[in-house]
Amino acid sequence: MTRLAILEYPDPRLRTKAEPVSRFDADLSRLVDDMFETLYASRAIGLAATQVDAHVRLIVIDVSDDRSAPSVFINPEILLRRAIGMVEESCLSVPGVMGDVVRATKLRVRALDRHGVPFECDLEGLAAVCLQHEIDHLLGTLFVDRLSFWKRLKVRRELRRGGRAVAAAEPGGSLAPGA
């Protein structure tokens, strides 16, 4: 398995709209494995293929504390959104920035697994928020696009200065692990 390079803001490739996966072959299987390797090495909870410059609708997520619950979502569709909440997010592609985003906190989702087998599941809390964050990546959207106007202005100014927009969370004790 290989740890993949992660594209960082303002790389224009992060704005690419991903294509649906149509072939479930060895190349796809390798990409899934490499994305998990990258996710765990980065101590993140979610990764979209867009972030590793592979523009297909593929997401890997593991929100468990002991990194024991890898989930793959291919060509994901949100069937139902319920219960809105505001959650502080961060992103591997926008290092050092955290911000509150309004998201649904309960979802019904349909997707394909790594073998192309369809499934439906209910997600809530961190997993629901993380999946929406990753689906945004597949559409070329970053969580900073969803921040309030004033917060966006502050983030942009700080990033231009090369600084950190908001103090990052404690190492290892992040409330909003990168995604």
Told to check if 87 binds Ni ion by CB under 5 A, we report no
For tokens 């740890």, name the residue: 3
Q: Which residues contact 24 (CB under 8 A, 6 or more apart)?
A: 112, 114, 115, 116
Q: Of 24 and 169, which CB lies nearer to Ni ion in the complex structure? A: 169
Q: How far is the CB of 23 from Ni ion (least distance, A)?
A: 25
Q: Of 59 and 91, which CB lies nearer to Ni ion in the complex structure? A: 91
Q: Of 135 and 179, which CB lies nearer to Ni ion in the complex structure? A: 179
Q: How far is the CB of 11 from Ni ion (least distance, A)?
A: 13
Kindly report the backbone phi and psi dihedral angles of residue 15, in degrees, each rounded to the nearest multiple of 5, phi listed first: -95, 5
Catalytic residues: 134
Chain residue whose CB lies nearest Ni ion:
91
Q: What is the distance between the terminal CA atoms of the chain, rounded to a whole angstrom?
A: 20
Find the part of the chain contacting Ni ion (CB under 5 A) among 72-80, 90-98, 114-122, 157-165: 90-98
Count of residues near Ni ion by CB under 5 A: 2
Q: Helix, strand, coil % (nearest 5) of the chain?
A: 30, 25, 45
Q: What is the CA radius of gyration of the chain?
A: 16
Told to check if 131 binds Ni ion by CB under 5 A, we report no
Contact with Ni ion (CB under 5 A) among 6, 74, 91, 126:
91
Q: How far is the CB of 133 from Ni ion (least distance, A)?
A: 5
Here the tokens at position 94 are 């926008």
Q: Of 37 and 116, which CB lies nearer to Ni ion in the complex structure? A: 37
**Which run of H or of E encompasses 33?**
helix 26-41
- Find the farthest-apart pair of alpha carbons in the chain and give their distance in angstroms, rounded: 47
Told to check if 179 binds Ni ion by CB under 5 A, we report yes
Q: How far is the CB of 115 from Ni ion (least distance, A)?
A: 26
| C-beta separation of 32 from 24 below 8 A | no
User: Which residues of this chain interact with Ni ion, rule CB under 5 A?
Assistant: 91, 179
